[in-house]
Chains A and B, each alone.
Chain A
Amino acid sequence: MRISRKTQWAVRLFFFVLASVLLALWFKENIAALPRATYLTGWLLLTLMVILTVYNGRKKIPFLPLATSKGWLQFHIYAGFFTLLLFVAHIRFRAPTGWFEGSLALLYALVMGSGILGLILSRTFPKRLTTRGGEVIFETIPVIRRSFRERAEALALQSIPEAKASTVADFYAQELAGFFSGPRHFWQHLFEVRSPLNRLLKKIENLNRFLNDQERDVMRQIADLVRQKDGLDYHHSLQLTLKLWLFAHIPLTYSLLIFSVVHVVLINAFSGGAR
């Protein structure tokens, strides 16, 4: 029997929540009452953060038999969420005060937030890309875009001698050259806004009234290219976003680790047991 992905997720979520509740109860009974419970949660949190950070390094040494990348990712996700529980227990359910602790908490929130954002993006964008159609390697997008542009330009130029009119070429130069020259409508694609494409197609449709049959045939081919280019931009927009969130998550993680190490030193140096 094949289990659907949604069911798999529900089962995983259930076990994660169950494990979290059991751990929280165990923590409350056995650890929370200890006078140095905050130290324990702190060290555990730091250790887990270091392990989570190592995931980035693991990707750089794929030749070593250190479990599968998928396994690491799953661990990264669940352990990441577990740090949230640890963090809340560590700060004892109160908002941190003071500049340093505030900065530390803010960094944690940013890393956690960017991680959750990344998880949401990596779970939803592939589905959206599949729904939109096509399969494009991100690095080849400029090459494909160029081929679209060359084909569209060729069609526009081709129409001049055939139709003995420059209407299509002029329209291309005025309305479409910019569209084909690079990635367009980044934010609209992110939020599934189709109006820019519809506007262009509407303009093409309006132009068709003034074209003869030959030009109309050329225009139909150009319109196809416009749709393909729009799909390519869609891929570019979503795939780039899938890469860009890491620009926040990874650097902030290292910043968080540095702050955490300083935090450890400060806490021990200024603690009750310090001499």
Chain B
Amino acid sequence: MKEQLPSPDFNSQAYERPNQKWVCGWLKDGKPCHNGPDGGGHCGASDECRPSATTHDDGTVTYSCTRPKSRGGPCDEGPRPDGRCAHPGLRCQPQLSLRAKRGILTRSVIVATFALLLVILYGSFRWKFISPGELSTPHSSLAFQQMAAARHPGNGAECAACHAAGKSGPAGWLQSASVADPSLFEFKKLLDNPEPKTTGIDLACQQCHPHHTFHEPNVAWEYSCSACHKEHVGAPDLKAVSSSHCVRCHGDEAVMQASAKKGQALSAASFEFQHDWTRDSFKLARPKEGFTKVITEFAKDHPEFLIHRESNKDPNTLRFSHATHRADHPGMTLVNGRPLDCASCHQPGADGVYYEKITFEQHCQSCHSLQFDRDHPGLTLPHGDPAHVRAFLGSLPQQYADYAARERGITAQEEMKAFVQGRIESLRRQYGYGEELEQKIFHSDERTAPASTIGGLGIDGRSLFPGCAYCHEVKPTADLPLITRPEMPQRWLSRGRFDHSKHTDVSCHVCHQDASSSTTAADIMLPSIQVCISCHQPQGGARHDCLECHSYHNQPEHSLFKALKEGSSDIPVLFRR
């Protein structure tokens, strides 16, 4: 194949110089002139020679060809009689070399880029153009837009709500860039690893979020809002904070020590913390050193739940045994046709996150009716207040009369009178006179109760009333007995968040292992941290980041959203209408 092309006709004098800006216009046709164009792109074509004149003795002038050997030597025709070359150069329109065309294209693109940027950056599209991504849902809401427009009338209001540079144009941006921290050329600062304290832009956050309080008052330094909350990354991600921000402090021994030291100088009241202020939480004493143990990972070094660290007991005075309420407990009957299980009493709220409070009316009364007269299940004592019980007992004839009219349809006066007297007499035979009856109702336990048998009597599955003291702590006083009200907290791990609805795949007993054997309400049947870790670890498949349970910010009852929802006076002026 190599012989298919001729060897290059390498003539050093006619050597092509691709770096030259202009080339002969005849090159395209394969016959460029020898001179070529000059640097300005002007055709350099000339005659092939400049004939030399010879003046003879007779005064005549003859011309001879002076074409150099390199171009073929003197031509056969020789110059014309008037002394002009017989081979005049053909003029052409010089062409730009490929390299020169590339240079022009490059310069054109540079100019076009500048022009495009100037048009866009000084135009109305600039804010959308420079935005690095979609705003989060709250910051792209109509309320936020209206607030921003009110504060910063004109184009770019949304940007100006957070960015000082958003109040100006490109010239202002340059100024803002030069005074930023770090500024444009402070390269040394880029290598620093300072604490992410509040920055300039965080001040803008706090204009709308004035109750931006932190999770603990002994926090070593206020963490920058923008360090955790990454804006311009779309709708759902503003609250998605990486655990690395938590570990930045909680994994640092020095920071934790500083925090512990600071905490010692603060009052205990300032540490009051509750994740959910709408629910009763189990109160736990704050550890002396606070919550300053170094933690780097939940599965690795998170301490045991505070509730298990000390031998805490449920302060509930109710005499209740989970073991007795098991479906397989001897004598246990069906409830509403079903065996008793956890869900019979423990029912989740509408959102399924937490379980609703246990109430007598909803969860106990169906079995433990306050029926004191064995022959009349429809007549029960009132629950909740000893005074009401006493009043009920004081008006017992009237209660029987009402009962006779309501349940038996007795309306004739004589018949009703006979019925009431009969019931009163019956009670006297069973329990003695009024005071004795009241004493037994308030203070009797199951052995001496008006009706001591639990279950299987009366209506199917219902028990008769054994006395208040059967379930409650009853303290006698000179007047009414004092019945201790059962305290049943809804939140036990008050420093964290727990969502039952996310744990419906496992049965109650997986976490609350002691529930079926517990015989007293004082038992706290929460799982240990190891139970949680079995799933909430990298190998377990469940999330194990800090935010899964904790939040950095304290006192959500002061949140902007709640204030907006409730129309509170705490709404920042900016959002008020």
Contacts and interface: CB of A to CB of B under 8 A. Distances in A.
Given A97-B134, A142-B28, A255-B113, A137 B190 contact: no
Contacts of A146: 29-31
B227 to A, nearest CB: 7
A268 B30 contact: no
A98 B30 contact: no
B5 A135 contact: yes
Interface residues of A, number: 59
B292 to A, nearest CB: 22
Given A99-B131, A143-B30, A146-B29, A268 B193 contact: no
A199 interface: no
Nearest to A227: B4
B98 A243 contact: yes
Given A101-B132, A258-B117, A145 B177 contact: no
Given A140-B16, A265-B177, A135 B8 contact: yes
B473 interface: no
B7 A270 contact: no
A270 B32 CA distance: 58
Contacts of B173: 265-266, 269-270
A145 B30 contact: yes
Interface string B2-46: 111111110000001010000100011111100000000000000
A136 B4 CA distance: 12
B348 interface: no
A202 to B, nearest CB: 18
A138 B9 contact: no
Contacts of A147: 6, 30
B216 to A, nearest CB: 22
A143 B34 CA distance: 12
Given A227-B4, A232-B5, A273 B200 contact: yes
A262 interface: yes
Interface stretch (A11-19, A35-43, A78-86, A158-166): A35-43
A71 interface: no
B29 to A, nearest CB: 7
B164 interface: yes
Contact of A136 (B5, B129, B181, B192): B5
Contacts of A135: 5, 7-8
- Residue among A135, A142, A259, A270 with the highest chain B CB neighbour number at 10 A: A270
Interface in B123-154: 128-134
Contacts of A40: 190-191
Interface string B209-245: 0000000000000001011000011100000000000
A122 to B, nearest CB: 16
A240 to B, nearest CB: 8
A231 B232 contact: no
A100 interface: yes
Nearest to A35: B196
Given A132-B1, A231-B1, A269-B165, A274 B177 contact: yes
B183 interface: yes
Nearest to B3: A133
Contacts of B105: 247, 251
B238 to A, nearest CB: 14
A246 interface: yes
Contacts of B232: 97-98
A43 B190 contact: yes
11 contacts: A34-B191, A34-B192, A36-B182, A40-B191, A97-B234, A138-B18, A139-B16, A139-B27, A144-B5, A273-B182, A274-B177
Given A33-B193, A133-B4, A247-B105, 4 more contacts: A97-B233, A254-B110, A255-B110, A274-B165
